[in-house]
Amino acid sequence: MIQLRLFLCIICEVLLLVACQKDNMQEEFPVPDELTIEPASVVLAVGESCQLIAKLNGIPLDGSKVRWESNSNLVNVDEDGKVTAVFQNEFISGLQVEAVVQGFHAICPITVYQEYNYKFRLILKDKGSADYSLNQPEKFLSTKAIERRRKRNIAIDDSDLPISKDYLKQIEQVGGKIVCQSKWLKTVCVQCEDEKQIDKYKELPFVEDIVKVWRGETEKQKRIISSVSSSAGGNMSGYSSEDYGEAWRNIILHNGQILHERGFKGEGIDIAVIDAGFMDLLNNPTLNTMHI
């Protein structure tokens, strides 16, 4: 009798366990479809691109099945999900790229920032050891420069000597690109993409002071902007912004490229530039951001 009761208890426990498992299975719900974008967020400098991938339940989708949209003209996104930062003057967030698939939506936040080129004027304590001799001015002055001094009885002195090649080499080793120099003012102008580079220039023993004189777009950004607004340039056949650099906007403003296309390039012509300065420079608010 005892064995029968024990057997019945075991049967009841087994039946109860099976019933509980069925109840648990009935409580499970199917996982809803989820559309996501990888990467989940993007930070781009102007001119940079990033490939976005839309995934449904973790599985990458073919580009033809996804409609990509952007909420700003500061970023472009093509039909394959490649997003490019086109233009922006300062750091900005709040931009979005959206993927739409069969009624599902996914958003990827985009942050765009601008990279800059900087130009610094390095004011030197001296010009360093002379690489040339005043007895051989033809080594560092043009024939016309020597002739002008002879006609006006102007002596050739230390102010005419170039800045030491060793100084220029040390500046280049720090980084950046030397864009111009003045032997009379003992200054060297350098261009670089890192504003903090100024601290490294200050460590050079022959540098007395440094002035930031310019901030502008990088070459990569200029190409992006030029391609976006190429229709604004009029007749550009044969020439582009890469040929002129900083002078491009002024050239196309006056259609100067047309003269160049016809062969008028100013070769063999000397132009004297006399600049009387800017009237009321110190009190003119328009020139507050300029270092002249």
Select the more confidently predicted residue: 255 or 17. 255
Confidence band of 228 (pLDDT split at 50, 70, 90): very low
Nearest to 124 by CA among 162, 166, 163, 177: 163
Whether the pLDDT of residue 65 is over 60: the answer is yes
CATH T-level assignment (fold) for domain 35-114: Immunoglobulin-like (2.60.40)
Residue 39 gets which letter from DSSP?
A: S
Confidence band of 21 (pLDDT split at 50, 70, 90): low
**Mean pLDDT to the nearest integer, 159-188:** 95
| Highest mean predicted confidence (pLDDT) among 37-46, 106-115, 175-184, 220-229 | 175-184
What are the domain boundaries of the chain?
35-114, 116-217, 229-264
**Residues contacting 117, CB < 8 A, separation 6+:** 191, 192, 193, 214, 215, 216, 217, 218, 219
Nearest to 44 by CA among 129, 141, 107, 109: 109
Report yes or no on whether pTM surpasses 0.85.
no
- First-to-last CA distance in the chain? 113
**Mean pLDDT to the nearest integer, 35-45:** 88
Whether the pLDDT of residue 226 is over 60: the answer is no
Whether the pLDDT of residue 173 is over 80: the answer is yes
